[in-house]
Amino acid sequence: MGGCLGVYGICKSSIRTAIPPAVFLCGLLFFTWSRLFRFPTWPPFTRHLRRIAVPKTAECSLQAALDKFREDELLPLRRATFGKVNASSTQQFHCVRQSTSPPAPVKGCGECAGPPKVALLFLAKKGLPFGPLWDEWIGLSSDARKFSVLIHTQEGTMASPLVIERANGTKYGEFILAENALWSAALRDPCNQMMVLLSVSHIPLSHPDVLYDVLFQHRVPETGGLPTSRFCYRNTSKARRMRSDRTLAATESGSAACQDADSDTGYDTKHHQWRVYNRYHATIVAAQGLNYPYDGLPRPRPDGMRAAVDEWFPHHVLRRALGNDAVWKQVNGGLRSNHSGQLDGAIQEEFCDTRLCWTSSKDACGLGKAHYCSSMGPFGHKMAASLVAVLLWSSLTTASADEHERSFLFPSAAEGMAASLDQAPSSSSSSPFVVEGAVRPWGDGLFEYMHPRPGALHVSELTSIAVREGDLVIPTDLDALFDVEGRQSGKVDGRVVLARDNKTVLFYPDKPFVPGDNVTVQLRPGLRVRRSDNGREEEAGGHKWQFHIRAKTESIGERDIWPHSCYRLHDGKQEAEKQPAPMDRYRTLPTWSAKWRPSAEGEKAALEGRGEDIGTGDKELYFFVIHLLAGQSFIATRQGDLVWWTKEVGRGGDMLGVTPSGHLVHWDIQPNDTAETVYELNSTYQVVDRHQTGHGYQTLDRHSISFDGDNAILVARTETNGTVHNVVHVFDADKNVLLEWRTIDDFVGEADPTLPEAPKDAYHTNNAERTPDGNVIVSMRNCDLVLLLSGKTGQILWRMGGHTNDFTFIGEDMDPPFVGQHHAHQLADGNILMYDNGRQRHTGGTRPSRALELSLDLNKMTATKVWSFTHPNKISSTCCGGVQKVDNGEGNPPTMLISWGYTGPFFPEVTYGDNPTIVREFEGFRGHRPLLHSWEGFSTERPRLLLCSDANTQASGGQPSIALLQDWTMRFSFNGVTGISKWRLYIGADSDVPLSRHLMERSKTAFEEIVTLQELVDTMAARDVTLTTDSNANVTDVALYVRVVPVKGDSELLRPSKALKVPLVVSSRDEESGAVSVSPPLSAVPCRCYQPDIGLREHLARPKPERESPVVDMVAVSECSRACADSDKCETFFFFEDTGQCEMDEKKREMGESFVEKKHESHQELHSLGGVVSGLSACVQEELA
């Protein structure tokens, strides 16, 4: 059984030598010990297996179904074998009718309502002494429903619903009737696919999930895609074979299968009776209607074969029914086509289960490989079992057993067993993670992953084709693997690529498939892999499958994706957004950029000093913030001071984060983009990489991108038959799609989680990211569903929420558990954390929104509320939101960062405990997904420096004025740069301002610093610095040039700004010295009308000038704006500082809240761009009026 289930003798002295006498002596010692200290007859399966007893629907009689199977699918023999003819023998042996497809096994009683099961079938004389051990072992499973149990034992020795009726005449060596009774009973449960025969002396030595995966690893089409049966054969060198009579067998129709069974290779080989049958083979055996002793069957073992009847007869039945060739293809992984090949040592290692000797290498389950199969038989492994069971029971139930003790108990299997125990804790602390092991559900059991899936519909015409066997690929002769042909596309050539994981092989067609085409893929033999368990090189085998290309590409509008409520919310501002904020004074940002301030709760928390004890560790953490639907992203300090701001094209997404390599990622559309794109920026905000959805999908889900090392996870959207479907992609660093999962593949029929009255965007994925165990968790708000995808196979492992839910929810206010959730993700401890909106437009809900943390028990399939936080104001948000558990560094307690979506406030940070309190909170705009992360930003640009006349109204009693020096301000900031502690200001008489000595220095207090012209002139006077003019000139004005330099830390000077030209009016002049007194400029510079560093998307493609202008000339900007205001056609102007070009635009590029409220689309082309100042004609006209 793959080395994953069985009994192994433990004898330290014989581990390396594996000498049979040593093994025998060890076994004899254990046997003696076990006789002296007998085990009690423990009650079986006290906890976990009570849940998986035979269901009531499985208590029906299956005899009618078995009789019909025999009548429809089997042909009776006219004559008996073994040299005697007897009429009654005609009912003992049957052959499978020859057909193009295998007959389906009997369905069972009722419908299968859970995962495919492994049926553990125990042959027990008097009870099951290791019942508690098996109970604990199944408790380790990620899903106890994967197993069922049946026990055949003496009447009256056990009181359990797991016990079946004992067959009369059962005794040692003649278990045929008992085995057949177990097969028949197991077939009642429609979920049982693998039937494992066990004795009372068997004990488990590998993790149940590993066993499950290995048993389901190999599949063949000849059994309808079921896993292959498994037999452990004995050493044939001792001629333990029996040859059947080849002269008398015949069928009514001359079945080739029965004739083949009597060919020259027709030998019945002795094998252990502890076999694994799949459902198909169990049906064939059970349908034979076996009665023992058989007429014509010699009771003495024929040909001197030293074997009990049950060690060879059941296989003889299968061989008779199927024929030699068929049997060898359908058992033991289908790895050999004849019985001699099945006796190969490699097959013995993988499928033999009763081993007493070990080598140092490991098998697929991480256990030591056998290189000698003991001839001691069941008696031998029973002798060893007694002590092993006691030791294993102790290791499973004693938490203090360390690695050294495990190594002593399991000298050669220690690593595999210890890893299993560590990977999945005992039932007292169920693991929240799914342990898959090696699993190959695709391609008749050949592949871990295939794309497109066999039979897939509506596949993109630009798809790649991929297979992943599961082990490392030997990269030789890959180009000849794929033969691809479409009915309309014809033969399709392409290139073959081995992905970065060295496991996934992809075929990239040279041309798109024809829409509506049916495509056939023939994967030729030749894909060679190196087995991870033993290092052997093996061929994976070929496979053929088909898929269907979508008929057409349907476009998706923004309103098909974003909830209508997210548009309606912009019909008016929140009250918090109408209130003034300190950031309103900024002019180096557009006046319509996002502004915020502490909320009432935030101010209260600051006054009480709640956040003072929140440590930050070695690195300062920064907010990464999205202005919902406004196309703005920014970074701020934890105290709320802006660091970096940018405007993306369009309404923007909800995506802003940091990669494992420390890069910034955000959504954008730039020139030459053929699809929506996620850009990866370095610490200077320069593009270093870009990510788009694969396979030609154009519409990117803008909620998130997640990274796992070099792999990226994105979600695409595509419309099919009026429904927006979601596509999850996992990419490697070379942009190969390692995994694609589509809602259209799995959401079919009753498995479709769509809610009543669902919108066109029925699923609306708002998060897809890696889990700590390598799977992918997906959150779908419009169907109240969170699901887990296998990171290996792409199959759904579990569903949480909605009407296709797999879990039972525990805790107060958990009905429903969540509604319209956002940002569901799995923490390192396995808990699920999400923002529960509590309501959504289509399905309603009245609960206030909350942050919600759930603890999972995958054995019991429960989700228990362990922490939640509802805002004191009982905020309820139908759109957007998120939550992050913040690691504040070693020795500091974590906090929770929450976004309340469009309702605001944005990003409260609360303590993580029984009574959470707000430690900081801001308001002023609508945020989405929160993130606190370390960051160090730099810039290749220069600091922004402006001269403004309209931003200091307090100087003139609150009335607009330009008459006083105090009315005029210089504004400077350095977008994106962290760590600035202060600014130094320098002046000069021309643009070449010397930086040898600064005029003034001031500490950095906010994103933007302000110096009035009055303050500048006063400082010049105090420092005895004068402005002079030519004594011979009749000068009425003079220009002063100003530069600022940011200082990082104590003394690190960063890049200086350009020189700001400050035009001044000469009010008086000293004839002797030439010194002048000055007044402010005569013409206003209305900065509120100017949007610094804002251009159009098309401007991003403009070639940069060879030489940048050294001067910021605000007079030139004003002249450009006035020219636009005077024009009948100009609506928007763009002034390019480096070239002095003034561009007039006839479109009204609406900016600010109005572009959402009024549904203007022209704003979608606006984009951050350094060195450009833009503005609206209407604003300038208002100022001039």
Q: Give pLDDT tens digits for 415-430.
A: 222 333 233 333 334 7
Confidence of residue 509 (pLDDT cuts 50, 70, 90): very high
Across the chain, how many H-helices and E-strands are there? 23, 61
Q: How far apart are CA 150 and CA 153, in angstroms?
A: 10
Please say if the pLDDT value at position 481 is more than 60.
yes
Please say if the pLDDT value at position 953 is more than 70.
no
Q: Give pLDDT tens digits for 1149-1180.
A: 765 544 444 444 445 688 999 999 999 998 88
Q: Give pLDDT tens digits for 800-815.
A: 999 999 999 999 999 9
Confidence of residue 1132 (pLDDT cuts 50, 70, 90): very high
Q: What's the pLDDT score for residue 1138?
A: 92
Q: Contact at 8 Å (CB) between 658 and 935?
A: yes
Tokens at residue 99, please?
């057909």
Please, which residues have CB within 8 angstroms of residue 906's CB and are 6 or more apart in sequence?
Answer: 596, 625, 899, 900, 922, 923, 924, 925, 926, 927, 930
Q: Quick one: the chain helix, strand, coil %, rounded to 5?
A: 25, 30, 50
CATH code, 945-1079: 2.60.40
Please say if the pLDDT value at position 962 is more than 90.
no
Mean pLDDT of 959-986: 92
Q: What's the pLDDT score for residue 272?
A: 58
Please say if the pLDDT value at position 583 is more than 70.
yes
Q: What's the pLDDT score for residue 240?
A: 40
Residue that wins the pLDDT comparison between 770 and 386: 770
CA atoms within 13 A on the CB side of 212: 24
Residue that wins the pLDDT comparison between 165 and 295: 165
Confidence of residue 162 (pLDDT cuts 50, 70, 90): low
Residue that wins the pLDDT comparison between 85 and 1029: 1029
Q: What's the pLDDT score for residue 122?
A: 85
SS (H, E, C) 410-453: CCCCHHHHHHHHHHCCCHHHCCCCCCCCCCCCECCCCECEEECC
Q: Average pLDDT, whole number, for the chain?
A: 77
Q: Contact at 8 Å (CB) between 640 and 1167?
A: no
Residue that wins the pLDDT comparison between 1031 and 1098: 1098
Please say if the pLDDT value at position 13 is more than 70.
no
Q: Can you say whether the dihedral through the CA atoms of 394, 395, 398, 404 is positive or negative?
A: positive
Please say if the pLDDT value at position 654 is more than 80.
no
The CATH T-level fold of domain 558-934 is Neuraminidase (2.120.10)
For the chain, how many residues are written? 1185
Question: Which range among 500-514, 533-547, 588-602, 605-619 shows the weakest confidence by mean pLDDT?
Answer: 605-619
Tokens at residue 1023, please?
């420092």
Residue that wins the pLDDT comparison between 604 and 5: 604
Mean pLDDT of 345-363: 42
Q: Give pLDDT tens digits for 1067-1105.
A: 888 877 778 889 999 888 999 899 999 999 889 989 888
Confidence of residue 878 (pLDDT cuts 50, 70, 90): confident
CA proximity to 345, closest of 232, 268, 206, 269: 232
Q: Give pLDDT tens digits for 433-474.
A: 998 888 999 999 999 999 999 999 999 999 999 999 999 999
Instruction: Provide the residue type at 544 as one letter.
Output: K
Residue that wins the pLDDT comparison between 978 and 890: 978
Please say if the pLDDT value at position 1113 is more than 60.
yes
Q: How far apart are CA 704 and CA 237, in angstroms?
A: 62
Please say if the pLDDT value at position 535 is more than 90.
no
Q: What's the pLDDT score for residue 536?
A: 86
Tokens at residue 776, please?
């992918």
- Determine the 3-state secondary structure of 904 from DSSP: coil
Q: Supply the DSSP string of 612-628, one letter for each residue.
A: GG---TTS-EEEEEEET
Q: Is the peptide bond before 582 cis (omega within 30 degrees of 0)?
A: no
Mean pLDDT of 769-775: 93
- Determine the 3-state secondary structure of 653 from DSSP: coil
Q: How far apart are CA 319 and CA 266, in angstroms?
A: 8
Which ranges of 656-788 would DSSP assign to H, the alpha helix?
Answer: 743-746
Q: Contact at 8 Å (CB) between 964 and 990?
A: no
Q: How far apart are CA 1076 and CA 1091, in angstroms?
A: 34
Q: Give pLDDT tens digits for 77-134.
A: 654 444 343 444 444 567 777 665 667 888 888 888 788 999 998 887 777 777 777 8
CA 1108 to chain centre: 46
Tokens at residue 572, please?
């008016």
Q: Contact at 8 Å (CB) between 898 and 883?
A: yes
Q: Give pLDDT tens digits for 1041-1066.
A: 999 999 999 899 999 999 999 999 98
313-322 and 279-287 helices, crossing angle to 10°:
100
Please say if the pLDDT value at position 889 is more than 70.
yes
Q: What's the pLDDT score for residue 299?
A: 42
CA proximity to 501, closest of 737, 210, 680, 663: 737
Backbone angles phi, psi at 46, to 5 degrees: -70, -30
CA-CA-CA-CA torsion for 993, 994, 998, 1000, nearest 10 degrees?
Answer: -10
Tokens at residue 226, please?
């079921």
β-strands 832-836, 737-742: how paired? unpaired
Q: What's the pLDDT score for residue 50?
A: 38
Q: What's the pLDDT score for residue 845?
A: 61
Please say if the pLDDT value at position 595 is more than 70.
yes
Mean pLDDT of 198-226: 77
Q: How far apart are CA 841 and CA 843, in angstroms?
A: 6
Q: What's the pLDDT score for residue 802?
A: 93
Look up tokens 């029971």; give the residue.
Answer: 393
Instruction: Provide the residue type at 503 as one letter.
Output: K
Please say if the pLDDT value at position 248 is more than 50.
no
CA proximity to 934, closest of 876, 978, 974, 904: 978
Give the whole-number percent of the chain exceeding pLDDT 70.
71
Considering the four listed CATH numbers 3.50.50.60, 3.40.50.720, 2.60.40.1220, 3.40.50.1980, the one that applies to the domain covering 449-548 is 2.60.40.1220
Please, which residues have CB within 8 angstroms of residue 400's CB and are 6 or more apart in sequence?
Answer: none
For residue 667, the cross-strand partners are 678
Q: How far apart are CA 395 and CA 418, in angstroms?
A: 9
CA 346 to chain centre: 35
Q: What's the pLDDT score for residue 516?
A: 95
Please, which residues have CB within 8 angstroms of residue 794's CB and are 6 or more apart in sequence?
Answer: 449, 451, 739, 740, 741
Q: How far apart are CA 756 and CA 776, in angstroms?
A: 27
Tokens at residue 146, please?
């994967």
CA 383 to chain centre: 47
Q: How far apart are CA 816 and CA 832, in angstroms?
A: 16
Please say if the pLDDT value at position 397 is more than 90.
no
Q: How far apart are CA 824 and CA 832, in angstroms?
A: 7
Please, which residues have CB within 8 angstroms of residue 267's CB and are 6 or more apart in sequence?
Answer: 241, 242, 243, 244, 339
What residues does each domain of the chain span? Answer: 12-425, 449-548, 558-934, 945-1079, 1087-1184
E strand spans, 215-286: 241-243, 267-269, 276-278
CATH code, 1087-1184: 3.50.4.10
Q: Do domains 449-548 and 945-1079 have the same CATH topology?
A: yes
Please, which residues have CB within 8 angstroms of residue 537's CB and are 6 or more apart in sequence?
Answer: 474, 528, 529, 530, 531
CA-CA-CA-CA torsion for 951, 954, 959, 960, nearest 10 degrees?
Answer: -20
Q: Give pLDDT tens digits for 725-739.
A: 999 999 999 999 999
Stretch (H or E) spanning 21: helix 20-36
Best mean pLDDT range from 260-264, 925-929, 1018-1022: 1018-1022
Going by the DSSP 8-state scheme, the letter that residue 18 receives in this structure is -
Q: What's the pLDDT score for residue 461?
A: 95
Q: How far apart are CA 272 and CA 267, in angstroms?
A: 16
For residue 74, the cross-strand partners are 96
